[in-house]
Chain A
Amino acid sequence: MAWNSHRLAPAPGSLLCRLDAVPDGACREVKYGADENAFSVLVWRQGAEVHAWVNTCPHFSLPLNSRPDEFLLLPGERVMCAYHCAVFRLHDGVCTEGPAQGMGLDRVPIEVAGGEIRVGEG
């Protein structure tokens, strides 16, 4: 299922967040919609490198975080799903450990310009 088929997925050009809202080496959760069915995006920045992922673990389709805007970052630019311990590389979304091996996170295309991170085409 394409990332943008979610009914609350942001349109291309939508602002995800400002670049300086994501500290170097950290993640930020950006949500579209208020309730539990909101569309959630994980934005990760390492220096000038920025990646955005649909915040859904492909294991059980749960969010990667159990508390708002709090992610478990592991050394080596990896994130661990708080629910069942699947580990994903943040630069390509590939699951390297745990119950979602062979699967990966869905990428949200982005464009970074003028200190802003916006949803890209695709």
Chain B
Amino acid sequence: MSTQTVQEPVVQASPASNQTGYRSFTLGGFNFSRDEYFVRVKWEAKGQQMTHIVSADAFLRAMMRDVAWGFFYGWVNFDAVVGTRNLYGRVEVYCGTYHPSYKDKGLDRVETFDTPLVMATFKAIMADWTNTGFDPFAAPEETGTAWVGHKNGSNIVAVERERQACRRMPGLPGDAELRSDGNGYPVNRAFADVAQDAPVIKAEPGFEGEVHAINLFAYLSRSDVTWNPSVSSVCGRSLFCPTTEEYILPIKHGNDRVEWFVQLSDEIEWEIEDKHTGAPRAKVKMRPGDVAAMPADIRHQGYSKKRSMLLVWENATPGLPEMYESGKLKPYPVEF
């Protein structure tokens, strides 16, 4: 037995800046700070002070996904330099480790922390740096430029929003509710034409109450977030995570397993890169009905010019990352 007991996480934060009002945060050898427009991540390498600059809105959108997804499956690259890798119980935080220009010169930094410490630090950053009126889950057109400038209040409700998950399917007794105007999920402006009717279920005698169906398009048309999949069916280790996407996926997701995409409406363009180096691998444009398998050795970022619907199908089988890492499984599900 190897129970791992971790310490109560202690977030290392500075007092609020007299100039901007924002706090800065330290996590191991990394320092995170923000000003009116930018986030700076600093670390030391080879005796040098390294600094990486990211636009604050892009950084907040990326960190929001990392927090909401519980560090997700594999790598969450905020951009080409900074990101996290989920080791399922511990989390790697890195700068430049998966960017050859830093890595090859020894100018990267990677540290592994207990998951609760990274989660607590990231949540504290989100709480402090998200101004009133800015929702990191929303499309830019919906949330505007409230992220700009000196510290101006907060938006705790938005940043503490949890990803919706069902135990089997939404609408089943005791499971997640279906979305409606009444429970705070109006139809999104981009999906005003989506029919809201519900399936009629006619079960054979003896099976009444054992068959369930929902209008997935109607369910998705009422999603209030972008690039944040809900879990709408759980069957064994199969997770259907449909989502609505608009603008740019705020992170480059590095896969530790094969991830399937089914385009349900509109279009998404994907930039596919090598997982470890970022070298371009492919560009994929998905139209309604298209199916893609994102291999286990890539990272990907999507662009959706109009809000679109995407079904993300995850294989949550424990132990999969090790099977891909060891070569027991090939990184792609089919050979042509």
Identify the A interface with B (CB < 8 A).
Answer: 21, 23, 25-29, 36-37, 58-63, 65-67, 69-76, 80-86, 98-101, 103
Kindly specify which of B2-10, B104-112, B205-213, B244-252 makes contact with the partner chain. Answer: B2-10
Task: Please indicate which of the listed interface residues B1, B7, B163 has the most CB atoms of chain A within 10 Å of its own CB.
Answer: B1
Across the interface, do B167 and A71 meet the contact criterion of CB distance under 8 Å?
Answer: no
User: In the assembly, what is the distance between CA of A119 and CA of B148, in Å?
Assistant: 58
- B contact residues around A71 at 8 Å (CB): 3-4
The B interface, classified by DSSP as helix, strand, loop or mixed, is: loop
Identify the B interface with A (CB < 8 A).
Answer: 1-8, 68-71, 88-89, 114-116, 119, 162-163, 165, 167, 231, 234, 236-237, 239, 316-319
Across the interface, do B116 and A80 meet the contact criterion of CB distance under 8 Å?
Answer: yes
Across the interface, do A63 and B4 meet the contact criterion of CB distance under 8 Å?
Answer: no
Residue of B nearest to A21 (CB): B1
User: In the assembly, what is the distance between CA of A45 and CA of B115, in Å?
Assistant: 23
Residue of A nearest to B234 (CB): A61
Residue of B nearest to A79 (CB): B3
Across the interface, do A99 and B3 meet the contact criterion of CB distance under 8 Å?
Answer: no
Across the interface, do A66 and B317 meet the contact criterion of CB distance under 8 Å?
Answer: no
Across the interface, do A99 and B115 meet the contact criterion of CB distance under 8 Å?
Answer: no
User: In the assembly, what is the distance between CA of A52 and CA of B116, in Å?
Assistant: 23
A61 and B167 contact, Cβ closer than 8 Å, known pairs A66-B89, A84-B69, A85-B71: yes
Minimum Cβ distance to chain B for residue A33 (Å): 14
15 contacts between A and B (CB under 8 A): A27-B3, A36-B318, A59-B165, A66-B88, A66-B318, A67-B89, A71-B3, A72-B115, A73-B6, A74-B116, A80-B115, A81-B70, A82-B115, A86-B70, A99-B163
A26 and B1 contact, Cβ closer than 8 Å, known pairs A82-B88, A98-B70: yes
Across the interface, do B6 and A70 meet the contact criterion of CB distance under 8 Å?
Answer: no
Across the interface, do B1 and A69 meet the contact criterion of CB distance under 8 Å?
Answer: yes
A69 and B2 contact, Cβ closer than 8 Å, known pairs A61-B234, A82-B88, A101-B162: yes
Across the interface, do A70 and B4 meet the contact criterion of CB distance under 8 Å?
Answer: yes
User: In the assembly, what is the distance between CA of A73 and CA of B7, in Å?
Assistant: 9
- B contact residues around A82 at 8 Å (CB): 88-89, 115
Quick one: which of A37, A61, A73 contacts B5, CB cutoff 8 A? A73
Minimum Cβ distance to chain B for residue A15 (Å): 17
Quick one: which of B4, B68, B116, B318 contacts A62, CB cutoff 8 A? B318
Across the interface, do B6 and A84 meet the contact criterion of CB distance under 8 Å?
Answer: no
Minimum Cβ distance to chain B for residue A113 (Å): 22
- A contact residues around B163 at 8 Å (CB): 99
A99 and B70 contact, Cβ closer than 8 Å, known pairs A66-B89, A73-B3, A74-B6: yes
A99 and B162 contact, Cβ closer than 8 Å, known pairs A70-B3, A70-B4, A85-B70: yes
